Amino acid sequence: MPQSGEKTHFGFQQVALGDKQARVDDVFHNVARRYDLMNDLMSGGLHRAWKSTLVSALNPPKARGSSIGSGALDSRPFALLDLAGGTGDVAFRAIDAGGADLQVTVVDINADMLDVGRARASEHGFDDAVTFVEGNAEALPFPDRSYDAVTIAFGIRNVPRIERALEEAYRVLRIGGRFLCLEFSSVDVPGLDALYELYSFQLIPRVGQAVTGDREAYQYLVESIRKFPKPKVFARMIEAAGFRRVSFRPMTGGVVALHSGWRL
Ligand SMILES: C[S@@+](CC[C@H](N)C(=O)[O-])C[C@H]1O[C@@H](n2cnc3c(N)ncnc32)[C@H](O)[C@@H]1O
């Protein structure tokens, strides 16, 4: 339990650490039905390319029969855990790339986001390949070393205790497993930074209001992006959780970064 008086940020506001999750949950409860549409509108479809880069880096195996190890190990599917997986976007892309040899578990704390995800999975015919679990990234309901890879896309900055979520990702990964985190980052291209600032604070909350009826949710979104640690600092947090060969790759002028670490 948090120490009384411990604070954190919710966007630009200071809030009690123990209060942040409920406020984050409200945000995603309110936008769940229009979440995917808003992603396309806000990013001009770019979130699709960013997620595709994540899945390419993950490189889910098409078939495990020829991989090293014992026959028993080879016969099990590649197990991917997608944290804060919401409406299933990353999971579906990974299944598209990995085929029948991939088993994905999507964990999210928000039942409304998961409901949308389950409906989408059925539409795609992915019911057997993906399991949706309501759970907190800070305290995963899975045994140690039970996944081959752990991904999280645009989720980590919403988690109140980021260090705990990183430690949990490490704990549930098998030795040799990879952690990949896609997150908004810091734009440091002169000219683009000013434009991005204007776009973020002037346009996104207005579009959020028009599409979801919830301006505050999208105000939180842009503020939370600004409060997220710079990529080098976040890379050190990933290392502190135990990961090795930690690296990151900025994309689109630093709008987002793909972070990577291995459990070795
Ligand atoms: C911006 S959405 C990202 C959804 C999805 N990964 C994607 O890229 O489309 C952030 C997600 O994080 C989830 N989330 C927030 N705090 C969480 C926590 N402590 N544990 C698990 N999920 C959490 C929210 O419910 C929401 O679905």
- Cα separation, 18 vs 160, in Å, equals 8
Mean per-residue pLDDT over the chain, rounded: 92
Return the amino acid letter for 257.
Answer: A
Per-residue pLDDT reduced to its tens digit, 101-147: 899 999 999 999 999 999 999 999 999 999 999 999 999 999 999 99
The pTM is what?
A: 0.94
Atom of ligand 1 nearest to the CA of 160: 19
**Band of residue 12 on the pLDDT scale cut at 50, 70, 90:** very high
Q: How confident is the model at residue 1 (pLDDT cuts 50, 70, 90)?
A: very low
Residue indicated by tokens 């539409």: 123
- pLDDT, position 60: 85
Residue from 34, 80, 108, 142 whose mutation best tests the ligand 1 pocket (most atoms within 8 A of CB): 108
Atom of ligand 1 nearest to the CA of 51: 8
Ligand 1 pocket residue status of 154, Cβ below 6 Å: yes
Q: Is the pLDDT of residue 71 over 70?
A: no
pLDDT for 152 beyond 90: yes
- C-beta of 158 in contact with ligand 1 (< 6 A): yes
Predicted pLDDT of residue 72: 42
Q: What are the DSSP calls for the chain, one per residue?
A: -PPTT-EEEETTEEEEHHHHHHHHHHHHHHHGGGHHHHHHHHHTTHHHHHHHHHHHHH---S--TTSSS-HHHHTSPEEEEEET-TTSHHHHHHHHHHGGGEEEEEEES-HHHHHHHHHHHHHHT-TTTEEEEE-BTTB-SS-TT-EEEEEEES-GGGSS-HHHHHHHHHHHEEEEEEEEEEEE----STTHHHHHHHIIIIIHHHHHHHHHS-HHHHHHHHHHHHHSPPHHHHHHHHHHTT-EEEEEEEEGGGTEEEEEEE--
Ligand 1 near 90 CB (within 6 A):
yes
* Separation between Cα atoms, residue 231 and residue 223, nearest integer Å: 17
What letter represents residue 78's amino acid?
F
Region 161-184: what's the mean pLDDT? 98
Ligand 1 centroid, distance to 93 Cα (angstroms)? 17
Ligand 1 close to Cβ of residue 177 (< 6 A): no
Any atom of ligand 1 within 6 Å of the Cβ of 117: no
What pLDDT was estimated at residue 61? 81
Residue with CA closest to ligand 1 atom 1: 154
Confidence of residue 99 (pLDDT cuts 50, 70, 90): confident
Residue 28 Cα to ligand 1 midpoint, Å, equals 8
Q: Given this model, what pLDDT does residue 123 score?
A: 97
| Cβ of 151 below 6 Å from ligand 1 | no
